[in-house]
Every structure is written in C-alpha cells, then in structure tokens.
Amino acid sequence: MASMTSAININVDSKLKDEATGILKGLGLNMSTFINMALTQVVKRNGVPFEVVNPTPSKELLEALAEVPEMINNPEKYPRYKNREELEKALLSDD
C-alpha cells in the first residue's frame, strides 16, 4: 500500500524559521522530518507533547522585584562589592 502524504502550508516568522532550521540541521533533521515527528507525538500522546503554560513568577521573585526601587533610591543602605571574591566572603561570613 502506497503512503499518502498531504502538504501543510504555514506562516512563521522568518528569523524563527532560520534559527530553527539551523538547529534542526545540526541535529541531522530537516523541517519536514521534525514536523512529522512532532505531529506523530501529538497523536501518540493525544495532546501537545510539551508543557504549554503561562509562566508565573514565584513569590520570592515578586518580593525581590518589589525591593528594587528601594535599592535604587537608597544605594547607601546596601553593601557594594568590588569582585566575586568579596561577595563570596560576605555571604559565607557569620556576620
């Protein structure tokens, strides 16, 4: 029995296509093979084969971001370090 194929025409951002094509080439794949692999996984998993979510910042990140204006407006309240070694020493000290 002969294999039947169908064409899919899609529009994608040119830069995205070029970047993806380069990565796929490095993996020994072309775009058509990758799309076939991806669609096969959609069918096998009965859904998208990767997590699709809206990223939600953690509580810790939101708290850290809330501190930024204070640090910018009052830099004298916060220690400064000349290099990584100074920072590491301060972090490891018991003070």
Domain identity same for 63 and 88: yes
Range of the domain at 32: 14-45
Does the pTM surpass 0.85? The reply is no
Within a domain: 83: yes
Integer Rg of the chain from CA: 25
Q: Is residue 8 in a domain? A: no
Q: Is residue 1 part of a domain?
A: no
**Furthest CA-CA distance within the chain:** 78
Question: Is 23 inside any structural domain?
Answer: yes
Task: Give the amino acid at 9.
Answer: N
Predicted confidence (pLDDT) per residue in 30-83, tens digit: 999 999 999 999 999 999 999 888 889 999 999 999 999 999 999 999 989 999
* Structural domains of the chain, count: 2
The answer to the question of residue 20 being in a domain is yes
> Which pLDDT band, with edges at 50, 70 and 90, does 85 fall under?
very high
Question: Which tokens hold the place of 52?
Answer: 């699709």
